[in-house]
Structure 1
Amino acid sequence: MNPLLGAEQAVLGSVLLDPGQLARLDWLAPGHFYRPLHQALFAALRKLRTDGHPAVTTKEPVPLSWVTDAVEEASHHVRGLTAVYAHTLISACPRPEHAPVYGRMVLEGAIHRSVTEHAIRLHQAARADAFQGEVEGALHQADVLAGVLGDLARRWGSEPRPVAPASPPSTVPVAPSSVRAEQVAEDEQFLLAVLVERPKAMDEVVGWLRPSDFADPAHGQLYRCLGALHHRGEPIDRITVLWEAQRRGLLADGTLTTEQLTAISDSVGAGSAEWLGEQIMRSSISRTAASSARSIRALAENETLAPGRLINHALHALGPLDEVRARWQTANGHPAPAPPLPAPTTDGPPTARVHAALARSTPPPAARPSQRPGPASTPSAARPPSRTPG
């Protein structure tokens, strides 16, 4: 049997056997169940409790009407539910008093599904933006995903904070859309030609454009050479760029060829470096968003990851997109605002219910003052400072 299916059946069976267990499952919602049949039945059980069904308050054995009324109420919203299946759920519950533990399993499965669904939406938005040359859709979905991760962390009872996984999930590198790949490559070549022809144009892009923003690694390395010459205050022309590429070993390892450098250097360097750089940034944002989405989806599909770790690893996977977004805002003259302080929420589950959701064992007695260890220091996550390409 699928463990998640067994957990959903056990939760419903425990409530059918003991309606009082609903009071210990207030933090669990019908939408946390995977099967629509189970969603409808759990919603029906909660409605019967709200309506004051006699089975909830009686001290006598649970009447059969508790089961039949729940099935009838749920049948208004879903097909295929019978009293026979309700009794199957009852037999699937080993111990009704373990309902919070079963509910925690259901919530854990819901967290993995929710993260997967929103990662897919982010990836779809990123691909659509790449096709249209836009960024708004991907950035909006990234904000939605970040908000969902924060909400899930509160429901699970953990503190959301970016944490790098021990081993990054394996994902396929994201390439530009075939429809846009040619245009992106042309923009990169035109920008490099402009920077070689008019070195002062480096001042327009060097503050926010990075080698990693180029879709073609060879173009990114050539931009790194230009940035190094600019940083050292040395003249930029076709000879100095070729020499810098040779010093960095780019010709020896095949990253660049003399023909590529000549073709770019001999191109007509007409155009706005700032405008071309913004087009490259748009492509970089969509690629980064797609890459982050794939990493988060791979994490969510790893069933061995506990929800707290999944949420923190997913927040870490959004970090590269946040960094690119900050530079994009700088390029458009809108510095990235400081992250707002987390505000206390009033709609989240109370602390007591969070502990019930976690279904943790009873903690040991508090140690004496002399036996308590000192506070552990927590390393703070720091973003690497921006550097000019070099």
Structure 2
Amino acid sequence: MVAGHRFRLDPRHRPDVRRRVGPLRRRDDRRRPGRRRSPLAAGRSADSPLRAAAMNPLLSAEQAVLGSVLLDPGQLAHLDWLAPDHFYRPLHKALFAALRKLRTEGHPAVATKEPVPLSWVTDAVDEASHHVRGLTAAYAHTLISACPRPEHAPVYGRMVLEGAIHRSVTEHAIRLHQAARADALQGEVEGALHYADVLAGVLGDLARRWGAELCPVAPAPPPCTAPVASPPVRADQVAEDEQFLLAVLVERPKAMDQVVGLLRPSDFAGPAHGQLYRCLGALHHRGEPIDRITVLWEAQRRGLLADGTLTTEQLTAICDGVGPGSAEWLGEQVMRSSVTRTAAASARAIRALAENESLAPGRLISHALHALGPLDDVRTRWQAANGHSSPTPLAPPTEEAPTARVHAALARSTPRPAARPPERPGAAVTPSAARSSSRTHG
């Protein structure tokens, strides 16, 4: 070490000066006096019934109907075709039923021409409170404020009826789908066919009450996305029955006479099985021999091997897995599976249509009847094969559809003026011609 040497501090060096930490301070979360929450924040925390109804057109229509009747009891005379069951909310059902009951009992507010007394509102709330909970006079005044114009009550009621039709079709489609899956598990078809008849009867009754024509119409634009299919029921057992049936038909070609009038390629759940049955049907129709070689050649001619629909391994497995079996019994099992599977597919399609709020009731009914068409075709072949007579159609209700409801359904909110007939070119009389004729007769 050199004497007298002084150590120089590095300019980058800084002394370690640590700040002494004092006691933690608690933040006072209490609001300062005089500070209020903004109305926007208050509106976000608790939405009013009117704001919630603005996001749901059907709820707005139900509130408007009830509000119009509370403001003008005479509007009930224009809503005889509307029933309490057509409302979705239990509160609205009970309140509309109470209003109709007060009108039937001759409430003073119905016949008076003076301003509507407050007793009309309070009596309706008291009567409805016997059947439902949570109804208060404050909500009745909310309904009154939700009605833009009381004289538009029939139009609001028509909206409520449209929502009821969509819900009714949806409920029966769900029942058909559940019955089809239950029958598929049990190997039956009676439940699915019964609920299909019920759904067809409901569609016919709705068409009659709405004033629409009862005719199947296919949707003009096909749906962009098909309804999601549920997983197949007993898929392994169904595939085994189909494979065994094809093996029996290849081994014993004469058995084709027992199933050719019963089965169609679309009745098979597996696409490869359906195409192979199509090959067997083509060979049988042309009167050519049927064996594993001819079936393989027919599949090649149809391009099934090239596009991967059918492989030689699948065909070999089907032809080598033959055993004793009845083609008629196996065909019946495949047909049962086809009936339940088609019923479930029709139910899913109808439910997707009913959940489409943009469809008018007339179009919904026509499209739903068209969706039941494939099931009717399968059922006809099933009944013909089993010697069953066609089911007796459900008897229509004896009561006639209310004329007022049909008029309300077919009426326009704003009637269009009648078009004037075109005038003939020679029919117009000019002033000069009129003057000349008058001079002649003079």
Task: Answer whether TM exceeds 0.5 for this pair.
Answer: yes
- The answer as to whether partners of 1:40 and 1:77 remain within 8 angstroms in 2 is yes
Secondary structure at 1:311 match in 2: helix
Structure 2 CA distance for aligned equivalents of residues 226 and 348 of structure 1 = 53
Structure 1 CA distance for aligned equivalents of residues 409 and 112 of structure 2 = 26
Q: 1:352 aligns with which of 387, 398, 404?
A: 404
Q: Tell me which moved more, 146-155 or 321-330.
A: 146-155
Give per-residue Cα distances to partners, 1:263-284, cap 9 Å, x unaligned.
Answer: 2112224211111111101111
**Structure with more relative contact order (C-alpha pairs < 8 Å, separation 6 or more):** 1
Q: 2:339 aligns with which of 260, 285, 305?
A: 285
Structure 2 CA distance for aligned equivalents of residues 53 and 225 of structure 1 = 76
Q: 2:189 aligns with which of 116, 135, 145?
A: 135
Matched, 1:254 2:308: yes
Shift of 1:120: 1.2
Superposed, 1:329-348 pairs within 5 Å as: 329-334=383-388, 336=390, 346-348=398-400
Superposed, 1:38-77 pairs within 5 Å as: 38-77=92-131
| Counterpart residue number, 2:72 | 18
Structure 1 CA distance for aligned equivalents of residues 285 and 76 of structure 2 = 66
Give per-residue Cα distances to partners, 1:59-88, cap 9 Å, x unaligned.
Answer: 222221111111111000000111111111
Structure 1 CA distance for aligned equivalents of residues 364 and 205 of structure 2 = 13
Cα distance change of structure 1 residues 40 and 176 upon mapping to structure 2, 3 Å threshold: same
Structure 1 CA distance for aligned equivalents of residues 124 and 117 of structure 2 = 12
| Counterpart residue number, 2:366 | 312
Structure 1 CA distance for aligned equivalents of residues 349 and 286 of structure 2 = 37
Q: Which amino acid aligns with 1:172?
A: V
Q: Which amino acid aligns with 1:51?
A: E
- The answer as to whether partners of 2:205 and 2:396 remain within 8 angstroms in 1 is no
Cα distance change of structure 1 residues 296 and 141 upon mapping to structure 2, 3 Å threshold: same
| Counterpart residue number, 2:227 | 171
- The answer as to whether partners of 1:101 and 1:358 remain within 8 angstroms in 2 is no
Shift of 1:99: 0.2
Give per-residue Cα distances to partners, 1:327-379, cap 9 Å, x unaligned.
Answer: 11111122546x86x988542433233112444244644876999xxxxxxxx
Q: Which amino acid aligns with 2:99?
A: L
Shift of 1:166: 1.7
Structure 2 CA distance for aligned equivalents of residues 184 and 357 of structure 1 = 46
- The answer as to whether partners of 1:196 and 1:269 remain within 8 angstroms in 2 is no
Q: Which amino acid aligns with 1:84?
A: A
- The answer as to whether partners of 1:191 and 1:276 remain within 8 angstroms in 2 is yes
| Counterpart residue number, 2:327 | 273
Paired residues, what number?
367
Structure 2 CA distance for aligned equivalents of residues 103 and 253 of structure 1 = 56
Superposed, 1:1-390 pairs within 5 Å as: 1=54, 2-169=56-223, 170-173=226-229, 175-177=231-233, 180-334=234-388, 336=390, 346-360=398-412, 361-362=414-415, 364-365=417-418
Secondary structure at 1:236 match in 2: coil
Give RMSD over aligned pairs: 2.1
Structure 2 CA distance for aligned equivalents of residues 172 and 367 of structure 1 = 51
TM norm structure 1? 0.89
Structure 1 CA distance for aligned equivalents of residues 167 and 404 of structure 2 = 25
Q: Tell me which moved more, 158-167 or 220-229.
A: 158-167
Q: Which amino acid aligns with 1:47?
A: K
- The answer as to whether partners of 2:165 and 2:206 remain within 8 angstroms in 1 is yes
Q: Which amino acid aligns with 2:117?
A: P
Give per-residue Cα distances to partners, 1:80-133, cap 9 Å, x unaligned.
Answer: 111111111111111111000000111111111111111111111111111111
Structure 2 CA distance for aligned equivalents of residues 146 and 323 of structure 1 = 14
Stretches (4+) displaced over 6 A: 366-371
Structure 2 CA distance for aligned equivalents of residues 25 and 246 of structure 1 = 67
Structure 1 CA distance for aligned equivalents of residues 190 and 418 of structure 2 = 52
Q: Which amino acid aligns with 1:206?
A: V
Larger radius of gyration between Structure 1 and Structure 2: 2
Structure 2 CA distance for aligned equivalents of residues 370 and 216 of structure 1 = 66
- The answer as to whether partners of 1:24 and 1:353 remain within 8 angstroms in 2 is no
Structure 2 CA distance for aligned equivalents of residues 155 and 39 of structure 1 = 20
Cα distance change of structure 1 residues 334 and 98 upon mapping to structure 2, 3 Å threshold: same
| Counterpart residue number, 2:16 | none
Structure 2 CA distance for aligned equivalents of residues 36 and 343 of structure 1 = 31
Structure 2 CA distance for aligned equivalents of residues 197 and 269 of structure 1 = 9
Q: Which amino acid aligns with 2:113?
A: K
| Counterpart residue number, 1:381 | none
Structure 2 CA distance for aligned equivalents of residues 228 and 334 of structure 1 = 29
| Contiguous gaps of at least 5 residues in structure 2 | 1-53, 425-442
Structure 2 CA distance for aligned equivalents of residues 227 and 267 of structure 1 = 20
Structure 1 CA distance for aligned equivalents of residues 310 and 231 of structure 2 = 19
Cα distance change of structure 1 residues 285 and 367 upon mapping to structure 2, 3 Å threshold: farther
- The answer as to whether partners of 2:229 and 2:348 remain within 8 angstroms in 1 is no
